[in-house]
Structure 1
């Protein structure tokens, strides 16, 4: 056990340490209090600046298209009014070869891409003038009946030559079958109208009809048209696609005007029809997508930040 004087000394040292600690805490409080008060008086930080809005899609799935191509035409059926009945069975009436030439065409349209695999468009195209010709022959029995006469009878030949041009307007739908290395095969179908114009057709006669019997007047005709499509589309840019395709196009029926004979008694009100006019088209074209991204308008500029007023302090 320590002597009394050492215990007193330890007690005094402990008290001096407590006094020093209290003084340190008091000094820290006196220094930090103004800082805390100043921090409490500071306004809250201003809000962050507005973020730029994301770009918006302009144009959606709309697109423009244009096409050019060449076409091989075919006539499936040729009809005329009953001139054969007028001439009579003994006249040996028959139709000769019917021919139609090739065409070139150019068209344009507007369409919409509904999703990744389905799209549709409306198109109009002009098809250039194609040669059109047909013939007919008969026994030369106009001056009297051939009945009782011994064949062969002298025959007359009429060969008519003219032109046909067409405007086609169609609504089309397509299915895109997937994209590989930027190439998209597609199939489609369309329906619409064909507006045919046949020119005046001149008769180049032969045999007993040498010099021709008359002239066929021109005529405008509207007919139902339908089409089947197949082809490939290639990405040139994000908005531009190049197309190469085949189309089967059925342009319906075209009609002629009335055959105006030099001797009117031999062909009253005779007209002709060219039915099931088929076109096998090879074409190239483009599609330009109107959809794209543009910067959205910025929100209105925020006013300068003003801190909220502090509490009202009354002084008495």
Structure 2
């Protein structure tokens, strides 16, 4: 009888201890500090080929002018009045190069120089000095140009290797005007004149918009549109026979709408913009 009574008593004791121990363990677990948060992933570094670059460009320009002005430079000046019949220039091919610097992933600057091949100029006017005489002067010549610009560009982001950009530039344009002839027609049939070569340098400015493509890590291909204002070109003094006024022609506001392609070679390996580095978290220590 005593042995049987001991067994139920032992079972009740074990049950009581278990009931008391489980809340104690739960309370001890509640007192532990929460685990530290997982570290944020490292940002991907932005890679670009920084520093100096060389460029070569070529293209075709649709050339236009505001107007040509005939100025009498005789001594003493003679009255001269005319009505313009035709005033035009032909288009130009051009080729050039330059050196630049990639300041950061979105800003770059460069200095460029280019040679613009010969353009033909033609000016036809009816002489109105003495009324409607029916006398016409047909004047023509050729000029080529050298243009130097300092440019700045803003790159507008890159998608699938393609980077659109905009920019602006200022500089100078040097025009060399030669081969000027003046022929008379109508009532002035048989009249003929020539003008000597003349050089002129003036202010120039440009606006750019285009697309760049990363051919390799260090080579960029560009296709762009450019508006270029080259100021004015001036002929030498045109003299003719029989007696006529000595005349200088000023071709004002030469404007080019250029389509151009080019390559840029960036020196050095690509440079990564510094990314934020996170220190590893301390080891997790638990105390019970």
TM-score, normalising length: structure 1: 0.66
1:257 paired to 2:236: yes
Q: Deviations over 1:42-78 (max 9, x none)?
A: xxxxxxxxxxxxxxxxx95100000010000001122
TM-score, normalising length: structure 2: 0.72
SS class of match (2:149): strand
Of 112, 119, 123, 1:123 maps to 112
Paired with 1:258 and 1:115, the residues of 2 have a C-alpha distance of 51
Say if 1:217 and 1:260, in contact at 8 Å, map to a contact too: no
1:63 paired to 2:53: yes
Say if 2:50 and 2:103, in contact at 8 Å, map to a contact too: no
Runs of 4 or more, structure 1, over 2 Å off, are 85-88
Of 97, 112, 116, 1:108 maps to 97
1:205 paired to 2:184: yes
Deviation at 1:281, TM superposition (A): 0.1
Matches within 5 A, 1:1-316: 61-82=51-72, 86-87=78-79, 93-138=82-127, 153-264=132-243, 266-268=244-246, 270-292=247-269
Structure 2 residue runs without a partner (length 5+): 1-48, 271-288
Paired with 1:212 and 1:232, the residues of 2 have a C-alpha distance of 52
Which of the pair is proportionally richer in helix?
Answer: 1
Paired with 2:145 and 2:240, the residues of 1 have a C-alpha distance of 27
Paired with 2:65 and 2:121, the residues of 1 have a C-alpha distance of 10
Deviation at 1:210, TM superposition (A): 1.2
Q: Deviations over 1:200-233 (max 9, x none)?
A: 2112321011123411222110010000000000
Paired with 2:54 and 2:262, the residues of 1 have a C-alpha distance of 11
Paired with 1:276 and 1:115, the residues of 2 have a C-alpha distance of 35
SS class of match (2:152): strand
Deviation at 1:125, TM superposition (A): 0.3
SS class of match (2:78): helix
Say if 1:87 and 1:93, in contact at 8 Å, map to a contact too: no
Paired with 1:168 and 1:253, the residues of 2 have a C-alpha distance of 13
Is the radius of gyration larger for structure 1 or structure 2? Answer: 1
Q: Deviations over 1:118-166 (max 9, x none)?
A: 0000000000001111022125x7xxxx5xxxx7x43211111211110
Paired with 2:190 and 2:120, the residues of 1 have a C-alpha distance of 21
Which of the pair is proportionally richer in strand?
Answer: 2
SS class of match (2:216): coil
Count of aligned positions: 220
Paired with 1:287 and 1:257, the residues of 2 have a C-alpha distance of 39
Structure 1 residue runs without a partner (length 5+): 1-58, 294-316
Deviation at 1:82, TM superposition (A): 4.0
